């Protein structure tokens, strides 16, 4: 029987304050890269909860998603290099905007996160060669174009948290 293909479900926060966007600088297989606060959906959590958790883990800021910016399907392919095997990943990203809350001093950042930074849209556009994914720019541009969808579009079955 063939194994069913499944993309990796991920979430990302598009956080804008006074014309600047909150990003993380992180170590990746391709070197130091910029990204939205983002990560994978964990078992038993809603998409909005995952986004709040990932934002906290990567920036030490609380975050409350209030709207969906968009849903994106993206493929990352890397050829084999040296001892690293070829990679082929597909991501299904749910990008949210919302309210940035308190900074929690003393909160450790996720492994690989070097720092957080605030960049203008023009600075983000000019640094495309440092983006972890083309979705960083796409999500920002969609946000700037006014893309906002009700968070209620995303439903989480109550049995999910209980593992049923």
Among candidates 156, 163, 161, 162, which has minimal Cα distance to 65? 156
Tell me how far apart the 2 most distant CA atoms of the chain are, in Å: 53
Task: Answer whether residue 163 shows pLDDT above 80.
Answer: no
CA dist., res. 111 & res. 91, Å (int)? 21
Q: Which run of H or E residues covers position 58?
A: helix 47-59
Proportion of the chain above pLDDT 90, given as a percent: 80
Tens of pLDDT, residues 16-52: 999 999 999 999 988 999 999 999 999 999 999 999 9
Confidence of residue 161 (pLDDT cuts 50, 70, 90): low
pTM: 0.90
Proportion of the chain above pLDDT 70, given as a percent: 97
Q: What's the pLDDT score for residue 164?
A: 44
Ramachandran region of residue 132, left (φ > 0), alpha (ψ -120 to 50) or beta?
Answer: alpha
User: How many residues make up the chain in this entry?
Assistant: 164
Q: Which domains does the chain have, with CATH numbers?
A: 8-153 (3.90.79.10)
**Which residue's structure tokens are 């640094």?**
127
Q: Specify the DSSP class assigned to residue 7.
A: P
CA dist., res. 96 & res. 37, Å (int)? 10
Q: Are the beta carbons of 138 and 72 closer than 8 angstroms?
A: yes
Confidence of residue 85 (pLDDT cuts 50, 70, 90): confident
């Amino acid at each position: 029987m063939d194994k069913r293909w499944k993309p990796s479900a991920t979430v990302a926060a598009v956080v804008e304050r006074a014309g600047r966007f909150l990003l993380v600088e992180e170590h990746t297989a391709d070197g130091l890269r910029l990204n939205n606060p983002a990560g994978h959906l964990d078992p038993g959590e809603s998409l909005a909860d995952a986004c709040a958790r990932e934002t906290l883990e990567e920036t030490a800021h609380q975050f409350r998603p209030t709207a969906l910016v968009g849903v994106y399907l993206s493929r990352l392919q890397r050829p084999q290099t040296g001892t690293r095997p070829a990679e082929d990943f597909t991501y299904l990203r749910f990008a949210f905007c919302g309210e940035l809350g308190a900074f929690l001093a003393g909160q450790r950042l996720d492994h690989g996160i070097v720092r957080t930074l605030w960049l203008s849209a023009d600075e983000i556009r000019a640094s495309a060669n440092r983006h972890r994914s083309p979705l960083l720019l796409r999500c920002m541009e969609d946000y700037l174009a006014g893309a906002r969808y009700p968070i209620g579009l995303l439903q989480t079955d109550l049995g999910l948290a209980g593992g049923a």
